[in-house]
Amino acid sequence: MGGGAKEDQEAPAAVTIVPGVWKEGLTKARYIATYRVALHILMRNWEGGGQPFTLSNGAMALEGVGRGTKWRALRELEQLGLIRIERRKRKSPRITTLHTTANPEEA
Can you give the residue range of the structural domain that contains 60? 17-97
Q: Is 21 helix (H, G, I), strand (E, B) or coil?
A: helix
In a domain, 26, yes or no: yes
Full pLDDT tens readout for the chain, 107 residues: 555 555 566 766 778 889 999 999 999 999 999 999 999 999 999 999 999 999 999 999 999 999 999 999 999 999 999 999 999 999 999 999 999 985 444 54
Nearest to 33 by CA among 72, 80, 83, 75: 72
Q: Count structural domains, the chain.
A: 1
The β-bridge partners of 36 are none
Predicted local confidence at residue 41, as pLDDT: 97
Distance separating alpha carbons of residues 99 and 2, to the nearest angstrom: 46
Q: What is the CATH number of the domain that holds 25?
A: 1.10.10.10
